[in-house]
Amino acid sequence: MTKSKDHWFDAARFGMFIHWGVYALPGRGEWVKSSEKISEQDYEKYVTYFNPDLFNPKEWASLAKATGMRYFVITAKHHDGFCLWDTKFTDYNAVNAPQCGRDLLREIIDAFRAEGLKVGIYYSLPDWHQPNYVIDARHPLSGDNKEALLKQPIERLPELYTQFLHNQIEELLTLYGKIDLLWFDGAYPETEKYWDSGKLAARIRKLQPDILINRLPGFSDFESPEQSIPDKHFCTESSKVLSWEGCQVFSAGNWGFSHDQQVHKSPQEVIEMLIKHVSRGGNMLLNVGPTSRGCLDNQTVKILTDIAEWMRWHSRSIHKCTMAPENFPEPEGVRYTWNPDAKSLYLHFLNWPDRRIFLENLGTKIDFAQLLCDGTEIQLSEHNPHNINGAKIPRSNCLLKLPVARPNTLVPVIELHLKKE
């Protein structure tokens, strides 16, 4: 799909990823069924005792909105195959879970849509519950056969699984109104041939013509690095700039709720990650893993609240922004973002310099400079501080005079309004 220049996805820059399912109950991550080789029968306990009695997606949605997130992606079905929605293609779903009994997906979509966020659905291509899904090296039933299964997965009735998958996608794209993003996952090389992705992509685009597709083999509208941030923006061989989204966790690895692996990154580190994504022309999809009781744990709420406070003052340097033009090199310890329509350049300080900072190639271009947190003017100096009575610095460069005290915010930002030539 060719996206227009002003597509919502590229302006949004910040989204919430939600990994939620019955795997929140063991609290050992969303891969627990595979990593601990849990049998179908033993895993059933988690369905039986899944009781989201504190579930209130309006709280998640209003926190996401306050944090400046413009879209969200929810795991309608992860690899364990448990479906959060009222699907007619399997009984293995939230409506049938005895202590749940409701269409969780519908309530989540309604709550986020009401806050004005774009709607994204994550759907796992692998499904460890469906009897026709192939047994590959990651399947909970792989036993000691890993090596052999890597080369030759056990084919059950893959065409039946493919049909099931296509049916479920059709259902998701017809029952819940406009879906803005469909996020596939788990197209491991040894099973890629089973998805019939060409046919599926055509059906998806027919049902939802404006939708963005991610990670369906052969069909991805953007790049999606995982738990890493590229040093440069993505582009094609012919230098066409590509959209991208990095998906990130707070902790060391798991996406689903993990009791022993809660928040390790500080709010400041997460904000710096967000800035790095935007400064390289990408979005950040920040993951949360709600508990089995249906709420966000206190540490997650705390970190998001701190980000929300920063975003309240600084969202102008994030939304609708992208990487700066190449002729404005970033000084050490500073990351630029750039709003091409407003012609504003944002300087994010990873550390606060002593009284001044030297900027290359901006000497004749700045109309006005200010601190973003409180609007205070930042003055320019034409003189080299080491030689006040001597030579001026070259006209093409400049010095900004900085307040001695570091602004009291997690990451200080200066906004440069450039002259509209």
Residues near 236 by beta carbon (within 8 Å), at least 6 away in sequence? 242
Chain residues 180-199 in contact with ligand GLC, contact rule CB under 6 A: 185
d(CA 393, CA 396): 8
Q: Smaller CB distance to ligand GLC: residue 19 or 320?
A: 19
What is the sign, positive or negative, of the torsion defined by CA atoms of 61, 63, 65, 67? negative
Q: In the complex, what is the shortest distance from the CB of residue 187 to ligand GLC, in angstroms, rounded to a whole number?
A: 10
Q: Smaller CB distance to ligand GLC: residue 31 or 164?
A: 31
d(CA 120, CA 200): 17
Selected from 30, 80, 180, 221, the binder of ligand GLC by CB under 6 A is 30
**Helix, strand or coil for residue 337?**
strand
> Is 136 a residue that touches ligand GLC (CB under 6 A)?
no
Q: Smaller CB distance to ligand GLC: residue 273 or 350?
A: 273
Chain residues 217-246 in contact with ligand GLC, contact rule CB under 6 A: 226
d(CA 63, CA 298): 13
Q: In the complex, what is the shortest distance from the CB of residue 403 to ligand GLC, in angstroms, rounded to a whole number?
A: 41
d(CA 209, CA 1): 9
Q: In the complex, what is the shortest distance from the CB of residue 328 to ligand GLC, in angstroms, rounded to a whole number?
A: 32
Q: In the complex, what is the shortest distance from the CB of residue 301 to ligand GLC, in angstroms, rounded to a whole number?
A: 22
DSSP element (H, E) containing 70:
none
Buried-state track 213-246, b at ≥16 Cβ within 10 A, e below 16: bbbbbebbbbbbeeeebeeebbeeeeeeeebbbb
Chain residues 264-323 in contact with ligand GLC, contact rule CB under 6 A: none
Q: In the complex, what is the shortest distance from the CB of residue 182 to ligand GLC, in angstroms, rounded to a whole number?
A: 14
Q: In the complex, what is the shortest distance from the CB of residue 135 to ligand GLC, in angstroms, rounded to a whole number?
A: 18
Q: Please work out the total of residues on this chain that contact ligand GLC, with binding judged by CB under 6 A.
A: 6
> Is 247 a residue that touches ligand GLC (CB under 6 A)?
yes
d(CA 155, CA 249): 34
Of residues 73, 305, 266, the one with CA closest to residue 172: 73
CA distances from 167 to 172, 288, 303, 380 (A): 9, 28, 38, 62
Q: Smaller CB distance to ligand GLC: residue 257 or 336?
A: 257
Q: Smaller CB distance to ligand GLC: residue 185 or 221?
A: 185
Q: In the complex, what is the shortest distance from the CB of residue 106 to ligand GLC, in angstroms, rounded to a whole number?
A: 21
> Is 255 a residue that touches ligand GLC (CB under 6 A)?
yes
- 244 — phi, psi (to 5°)? -150, 160
Q: Smaller CB distance to ligand GLC: residue 130 or 258?
A: 258
- Which residues contribute to the site for ligand GLC (CB under 6 A)? 30-31, 185, 226, 247, 255
